[in-house]
Amino acid sequence: MNENTASTIYRKVKQLNSICATLAGLILLFVTFSIFVDVFFRYFLKKPSIWVTEVSSYLFLYVIFLGTSYTLQKGVHIRVTFILDLFGSKLKSFLELVASFFAMIFCVVLIWETSVLTWEAYNEEWIAPTMLSVHYWYIYMVMVFGSFLLFLTFLLKTIVHFIEPKAETTE
């Protein structure tokens, strides 16, 4: 993969990450508003809803998996850097490469496991034993998508970082 190809693909992935992060933010806004309204109805009108807790739980999974790649892209995920700060730039760069490699392995395992879970839920028609009776694969599919997007972001960010060491890869 040459410099232009990697950079072009990474730019497209960053746009997709931004769209997913915006969607995650809107979902979080909806969840927050729904919980606020439910609290009002429950404690002041004595008429609680039957769906807010369940839907909020499912949507939080969407928020997490839609927002994770964007967090990685911006470089604002939790990192322990005090050890890295002890080393020179070449060793630091090598250690970051190793960390990215292990993170990509983790992502591949996560993609595999969530895919198996989602397929099983779809194939066996798992349905939530709750009032809404949601098909679980609708909930699980975001884990596959989010894990794949996270893997792609790790891979392209690493490639672009090492192809274009001076380029800013967090924007």
| pLDDT of res. 94 | 87
| pLDDT of res. 6 | 80
pLDDT in tens, the chain (171 residues): 556 788 889 999 999 999 999 999 999 999 999 999 999 999 999 888 889 999 999 999 999 999 999 999 998 877 777 777 888 888 888 888 898 999 999 999 999 999 999 999 999 999 999 888 999 999 999 999 999 999 999 999 998 887 765 544 445
Contact in structure between 156 and 13 (CB atoms under 8 Å): yes
**In angstroms, how far is the first alpha carbon of the chain from the final one?**
21
| pLDDT of res. 166 | 55
| pLDDT of res. 125 | 95
pTM: 0.86
The span from the CA of 88 to the CA of 67, in Å, is 32
| pLDDT of res. 22 | 97
| pLDDT of res. 118 | 97
Could you write out the DSSP letters of every residue in 11-74? HHHHHHHHHHHHHHHHHHHHHHHHHHHHHHHHHHSS---SSHHHHHHHHHHHHHHHHHHHHHHH
